[in-house]
Structures are given as C-alpha cells and as structure tokens.
Structure 1
C-alpha cells in the first residue's frame, strides 16, 4: 500500500536528496517548510549549503509541472508542496501556539483525518529529525518516524571497531609464534576480516596464552605488529588498543587513519606524539597541521576580540593542552614560543583548510564527529600527495544539531573505508586520562 510522507524542514536540511528516498509513495512538503528553508539559505555553513541545494532542486522540478498540484518523481512517487491542508482548527484543541513545528503537524493531522474518511485510507507518516515533533505527532495519533536513510549503520554499537578477539585452539597460537604469520583461512571464520584489522587470539582452553596480530593490506594474512612498545615523545601505549593505534599512526603506507573512543582514551595525545615523531624526528612530512571544527558545546560565546590566533585560542585550547604536556612546558606562554620557533606545527580552525590542497603533511582533524558527510568528504579530498590524515572523535559526543552517532561524517568514513588497504581504524575503549575520567565516561 502506498503511503503519504510529510517532511519536516530538518530532514531536507540534513539531506537535500531526501525527497527521492521514499520510493513510489507521495511526499508532502508543507508550505511553511519552504519559508524555513528560505531563512537558512544565506547561512555560510552546511545548513546554508543544503538550503540552497534543495531550493535549486525544487526549482528544477518545476519544469515537470506545478509543485502545488504534484509532480511525478523518478522513483514513481509524487512530490507536492502542500497549500490546502493548513487549517489549524483541529490542532488548536491540543497545541494552541501557532509555531512552525505546529503548522507542519497541522498539515500531517489534516492529511491523516482526510485519509481516514477514504474507502482505502493511506497511512500518513510524519518524518522528522526532531524528537519532540515526533512525540507531539504521537499525541495526535499520527505515525511519526526519524529519517534513517542517511544513517551509515542502524545502531551505534554496530560501528566497525577495527579489532576483535577470537578464541582458538592453543596449537594455532603456537603456529603463529613458530612461523610469524597465519593465513586468514586457518581461523575458519564465517565472516571476513578487513585490511589492517587487529586480531587478539586467546586460548579457548582458558590459559593465559595469547597473541596480537594484524591483517595485512591484502586481507589474506595475519602478521605480527612491527613496532615495539618503546615510548614516542615520552608516550607509551598503556593498553592493547593504544598499541594498535600507534601501529597505524606510524605506518607511512596507511595515509588515512581514524580513531574513535570516549573522552580520555588517548586519541589526541597519541596522534600528536606520532605526528611530532614523523615531522620533527624522522622528517617524513614537511608540517604537522592540526585542525578542529568550531562547534561549541552549550551556548556559543559569540564574537571574540583580537587577531585570528586570539579568536581561535579558546577553540584550540585542548590541542595546546596536549602539546604543553608533550613538550613538558613549565610556564604559561612557553608553548607559543616553542611553536613559533619550530615553524613546522600549525594549529588551525577547520574553516581555514577547506579549499586547500595539502601535500606532504601530517594532518590531524580533531572532533571529526561534528562534521557532516559532505564536510568530511571535502576535507579528506583535500589531502595531497605524500600526506597522511588522521580523523579523531567520539561519535557519542556530538554537538551538531542534525547529526548523531550513526549519521556523522566520522562514522561515515570508518564504515566506507574499512575494506580499503590504504586506511586503518581503531576504537579505543579504555580511558587512561585518570581513574576519575574513566568513571565519568562510564557512569555519566
């Protein structure tokens, strides 16, 4: 049975192509949605770009007919800009305020009541990224759904972790230590292993015998880790996942590395230590470029006085904190003098690296979970010849209003690149900042 989908503004601002995602069903855009999109089109951010894109798309569709009468979509469905179901009378009994959200709800409710009177009523479904709008719809008896098409995985716990533990017969572990490699087929798995995925073998008999291995770039063979656990810029791996992360960070044959994990797991500190070793010690890269998106947690503090460096300092302070630890500075301001003297370390807001081509650099993008799919594509496609890019973040700590753990740019890269030989990923699980920080991450 065909359905009627009423779209909220946030669905189109999240995915301008959403109108094509509902197969052969009828898609309704309330008139107030056009007004909300119009109010966003001058924004210089991702929402503004998406507002302009959906505006151009709807304008091009006018060639197929009049939008308020309905036009046929390539999928066989129908798209209509709704003008005739705006009556607020039925909704006022429950929600009296004439807000934009309530106007969208009014359109969905009037459609719902109209379809109930038909001989063969079609289900009317309101699609919104706004939880409260979906709750209001449920109060009114309207079916409401989140927009899930943009999700990379269905549930956050399905995100690729980059490592797994397998219990095997002790003879297999002995074979690995004898020959220093294992064929993937010798594990008799009913699922594939990905390039540069890490495997911990444990004795199924219950002894302490174990081995830490890495899948090679072709995904056919399990090999030992090549790096020892010696400190790098005073930082040594404190657990198995951190050792896996350093293996990827220091491997020049892997130009794309993604690290995820809760606060305090060591993502930024390990990556900065690896970057400093590659840039300052080995001279493998010309520059260490560190950037993060300017997305505030909580209320924005507004405009800041001063030059660019002064304006950026509050946003970049977490990076400077880690650099101060690595350089073991004693006084406030010492880190600025050190960075000015070196000249090979650049800390930027992400705004300033978009549109550039960046060859021969070790690039670190912190807080990448606050980036959309389009933004992450723009950034990764900036990477020039001889560069390495590392994306860091916690998909569970997102400050972007239209992203979640399953639809953000970092998760998108992890899932799309997990089968590629030029990339590697590790989900760090154990906090090492302090016992208090670990408890906070687990309990709060």
Structure 2
C-alpha cells in the first residue's frame, strides 16, 4: 500500500522536443518523478542529428544518453533512470485516444501528436499528475486548452531577473569629501576608509562604485579590489582612441583592460557601446594576445535557415557579421588612412590576427592566448555559454555582450538565456566582472527609439 501511494505521488512529465534541444540532459533533472518521451520527439530529433549547430549537438547527445540508459531494456516500458532517488522513463508510441488533438485543432502536426501522448497518459494514469514540459509557449497554451497541465522547463532558469540587473555597480552617498580627495591623490585607498570597520557591508569581488561626497558635488569613480581590500580610482582613459562617455562605460572599459579579470559580461540595450568598447579594449591589448576573435551566433530573420538566402556561404553570412565590421570600421575611422593605427587594423585583418566569424566556426577550437568577444550572447543557451568558457586556455580573456531583454532565439527568454545564466552563476567570482550600460550613446535619435517607442 505504501509503495502504491509513493508511486501515485510521483508525477509524470512529458517532454517536448524543444526541451531536449535546449538541454539534452533534461531527462535527468526531474528528481524522483517519471519522464515520458513521445516517439514523435525521437522522430523530430532524428532530423536534427546532422550539423554543427548547438541543436545538432544536443540532439546527438540525447540520443546517445537514451541508448546508454536503455541498455537491454525495451524502452516502451518503464526503464530506471540512473542515480539515487531517480524515477523511470519510457518512450510512448502513437496512442489511440477518445480525444484526438489532430481532429480538435483541424490539422495533423507533430505538436498535436505530442499532445495526444499526454492525453493518453491522463486516461491511463488517472491517479497521477501528468504534466507537459515545453519551451514552446504556444504548445503549452494548446495543452491547457485540452485540460493538460503544462509548464516551462525550469532548470537553469533565473528566478529573479532583477537581481542580476543590479549586479556589478553601486552608488555610495554621503562619503566624506576628504576621503574622496585622498582617493584622487593616492589612486588607491583601504576599504576601511570608506566602510569603517563594519562588517555589515562587504563588497562583492570586482564591484564598481560611484562615490558621492556628503556636502558638496565631489564624486569619484572607483573599483573594489577584493584581493587587496582596497578601492582603486578609475579614470576615463582611452582605448584605441575610443573614450568612455559615461561612468558605466568607464567601468566596462576598466574591466576589459584589467589583466586580472579573465571573464567579463556587458549588458545593455542597442547603442550603449557594448561591442565597440570590447573591440577597442581588445585592440589596445593586441600585443598581449596571439589573436582577437569577434563572434556572434547566427539567428536568421523569421528563424529560417540561412540556406534560404542566395549566394555562397560567405554571402549568406555577411549580413549577420556586418554589425561587427561596422564597429571595427568606426574605430579605424578615428584615424586618418595615413596613420599607422589605421593601417595596423587592416594588417591585423589580412594576417588573421583579428578574426570576425560566426560563433559556429569557433566550436571545437582550443582558445589559448586569445582575446575572445562574444556578441549577442543573449541568443545563446546556458550550455553554449558553458561550452565556450570551458574552451579557454592559458592567457585567454572572454567578453560576453548582449541585452537579456532582446532575444531572437526561439524558446529562450530573459530568464533562460545563456547571458542571464552566466551573470547569475558567476557573479562574485574574483575572475569575473559584470557591468550594465544604461545610457545610449549612439545618437539622440537612437535614444528616442529606446526610451519612447
């Protein structure tokens, strides 16, 4: 009786293809509950197994995992998942139901076949809670219209986006003006001079500060160095003739140029200078690295494959890389064509010391002695971000830039994308710094669009 009650308390989760393409290990993340994979999902995964995109790797990874888990079992029956306190899984063939989603919605689609699997389980497992798990919002809505419980895949999802919004920068009011003057003169100051001996306020590693005076308009930009428990003054210094135009840009450029910070993320809306600062900082440090890589994921408009576009592969990819070239041209045009700095950029591109490529071309490479800038990182999954960082070798620095509220990839949102995941998981680490750029500096017209439209 107790065993039967325990079984009834276990839920049954039906996984959609979108969940597996997001995380091929997802089947292992449902604690003691059971997992059902509709056969339609395996059929869809078969279409994704060839290629070099992340979804192709996820598809192959899941198929291999399922093969390993099944061993000598017939997978249309409940098969134990490896691990203590884990449930079971099975693959469900095409069921016959009194309710048929294909007929209800007037169209035969794979999504409806997956819904039919959930409907069948509701009929056969009347004492258990059946839940469809999908990254596809529309499929979840269809499930709910059929009285099927449905939810997003929550593993790796940020619970409170506002927490990462406020990471990396603080403003301290009413600082003693004499303390500000001392920091101006000495460039560095023991943290006790600002916080006293109180242990209530212990700054996070690599936090940036705006220190404002108590009785006058004096203020200073500072950086908290946790290893020395000190504040360092930040000056608005240039990088390859690019100057920061506000406090946040000064903070970002400081993090980019600091050799002790190996991993940086810069969040901000379009026009705040994320990519421009990262590239200018990379060029300023060109002698410290063998190569500069600047890459971004390819997310075609309307999510059509780039095969739809005319021309050879280079012609197909050029439109997606143009924004990166535009930033490089902007930096180059800070100089005259006769200047050595102008020619140096041309030489670096020709000699492949500076490489601009789609992110998929970087996959599998060992990133040693590289300054690596990943643009539009909000369009990456957490697994992709982890894969990129795990490729870092000696003397490598990685900068992720993006806007967590401007997602172009299906099934990602502000809480589940790789950039948000990175900020949430790595903040407070001594090798990492994060800055949010708040003010648009592209033009007054661009600011109008960001603020009013």
Question: TM-score category by the smaller chain?
Answer: 0.7 to 0.9
Contact kept, 8 Å, 2:50 with 2:56, in 1: the verdict is yes
Normalized against structure 1, the TM-score is what?
A: 0.86
* 1:124-168 deviation line (CA, Å, top 9, x unaligned): 2111111111111111122110111131x1243332544333455
Distance in structure 2 (CA, Å) of the matches to 1:306 and 1:340: 24
For residue 144 of structure 2, the aligned residue among 138, 142, 156 is 138
**Within 5 A, what are the aligned runs for 1:301-316?**
301=306, 302-305=308-311, 308=314, 312-316=317-321
Q: Which residue of 2 aligns with 1:290?
A: 294
- 1:30-84, Cα deviation, whole Å (9 max, x unpaired): 1211211122212331111111111111112222632212022233312122237
Q: Offset of 1:403 from its aligned partner?
A: 2.6
- Match for residue 46 of structure 2 among 38, 51, 60: 38
Which residue of structure 1 aligns with residue 91 of structure 2?
Answer: 81
| 1:126 equivalent among 118, 132, 157 | 132
Aligned residue in 2 for 1:200: 210
Equivalent-residue separation in structure 2 for 1:307 and 1:164 (angstroms): 42
Picking from 266, 269, 285, the partner of 2:273 is 266
Q: Could you tell me the TM-score, scaled by structure 2's length?
A: 0.84
Mapped contact 2:222–2:233 kept (Cα < 8 A): yes
2:26 is matched with which residue?
18
Say whether 1:105 aligns with 2:115: yes
- Residue in 1 that maps onto 2:6: none
Superposition deviation, residue 192 in structure 1:
5.1
Q: Does 1:154 align with 2:150?
A: no
In the alignment, is residue 229 of structure 1 matched against residue 236 of structure 2? Answer: yes
The alpha-carbon distance between structure 1 residues 254 and 170, as it changes in their structure 2 partners (threshold 3 A), is closer
Question: 2:66 and 2:331 mapped to 1: Cα distance?
Answer: 52
CA contact (8 A) 1:160 1:414 kept: no
Aligned position for 1:368? 377
* Aligned: 1:320 with 2:334: no
Within the candidate set 394, 399, 403, 2:403 is matched to 394
Q: 2:12 aligns with which of 4, 9, 28?
A: 4
Tell me the distance in 2 between the aligned counterparts of 1:61 and 1:356: 30
Structure 2 residues without counterparts, runs of 5 or longer: 1-8, 184-188
Distance 1:260 1:81 in 2: 41
How many residue pairs are counted as aligned between the two chains? 428
Comparing 395-404 with 261-270, greater Cα deviation is found at 395-404
Gaps of 5+ in 1: none
In the TM superposition, what whole-angstrom CA distance separates every residue of 1:195-221 from its partner, at most 9, and x where no partner exists?
A: 111123446x78645443222143x72
Q: Relative to structure 1, is the Cα distance of residues 266 and 82 closer, same or farther in structure 2, using a 3 angstrom cutoff?
A: same
1:416 aligns with 2:425: yes
User: Which residue of 1 is the match for residue 73 of structure 2?
Assistant: 65
CA RMSD of aligned residues (A): 3.0
Q: Distance in 1 between matches of 2:199 and 2:181?
A: 20
